[in-house]
Amino acid sequence: MCGISCIINKDNSPVNQSEIRVINDLIIHRGPDSEGFYHGENFALGNRRLSVIDLSAGADQPMSLNDRYIITYNGEIYNYLEIRQQLRSVGYTFKTESDTEVILASYDHYGQDCVKIFNGMWAFAIYDRDKKIIFCSRDRFGVKPFYYSDLACKFIIGSEIKQLLHFQGGKKANLSVLMDYLVTGYEDHNNETFFRSILKLEQSHNLVYDLTSHTFLIYRYYQICINRELSGLDEEKAVVLYRNALKESVKLRLRSDVRVGTCLSGGLDSSSVAAIASAMYNIESGMKFNAITALTSDQKTDESRYAELVVNRHGLVWNKTTPTALDFRENIEKVIITQEEPFGSPSVFMQFKVFEKAKEIGCTVMLDGQGGD
């Protein structure tokens, strides 16, 4: 998890260093390993980095390529090794082992269509010096956050709402979104947030900001298409196809230069991910895979007995956390501030305790199968 920041001054004046630093500091929790800034004529980029791929300082951001492109980026391109090899075959060379540099080279080679070959989760902004634009993109399913505000004098981009609230002159509720949530339970059904004047770049969309005219264009780059041929498969072939796709997906997500673990509730989704990842991780590293489970005293909802079966069957290192009522009282405000918008279930708090445990045992990357079943 990293964090991105961007301020564009519509009057074409330079961005004050203190402004970009303030909103970058608001997301220090997203990237404790390093910070960086880039100042253009009428804009500034900021980044907070959590090092996962290529831990060297050479992979810090904002990163540049060919003295033309500058990127601030949050996410991971899982197929970056394959893309890097393709780019090398047509003459590109690389100074780092990072996926960030692969994004820049891909943009140079494929243009805005580069996002169509990425397999991963991302939110980034690339300054293109020659075209005088900032090209932004969010991954296909909106795993990584991307917020923006189009104000009278500024255009602001951030990984979290609190960065944009800094320029709003107070917190003002978006009443239409609030009513949708209270009356129907709908949330995340459009590009609006619970805060007025703060919008989301929707999943599967790019945003291109023209630094000369101060206009921007948003367009969709990906649409799910139904493969009618799959409906003709028999059960055995469908199972094989699904199993192979799931295994490949887990394999790609284990690419990391830091320790990886998994959330394990005992349900079908997390158990499947844990079982597959454990075998692959052991073969690759020779180490046992870490799983973390949040236990509850409520026997009706406790699934730890199922998690234990998975742990014993696949030889996982089992880490357990048991949140108490006192934990809830002491931490729920912190969880609300971190989430920034209303959430529909206390399971978010259980996840908070799981990730707290992950930090304690040194797992920087966590695979999570929530919702997969």
Catalytic residues: 2
Which amino acid, one-letter code, is at 273? V
Distance CA 7, CA 17 (A): 10
Which amino acid, one-letter code, is at 308? E
Q: Indicate left, alpha or beta for 303 from its phi (over 0: left) and psi (-120 to 50: alpha).
A: alpha
Q: Burial letters for 328-345: b for 16+ Cβ neighbours within 10 Å, e otherwise?
A: eeebeeebeeeebeeeee
> What is the distance of C-alpha 1 from the center of its chain?
6
Distance CA 45, CA 68 (A): 15
Write out the H or E segment, with its range, that includes residue 101. helix 99-110
User: Whose CA is closest to 357, among 306, 317, 321, 309?
Assistant: 321
User: Whose CA is closest to 19, among 47, 48, 44, 42?
Assistant: 44
User: Whose CA is closest to 148, among 163, 133, 126?
Assistant: 163
Are 174 and 194 within 8 A, CB to CB?
yes
| Alpha carbon distances (Å) from 207 to 10, 107, 210, 222, 372 | 17, 14, 10, 13, 29
> Packing angle between helix 80-89 and helix 99-110, nearest 10 degrees?
50
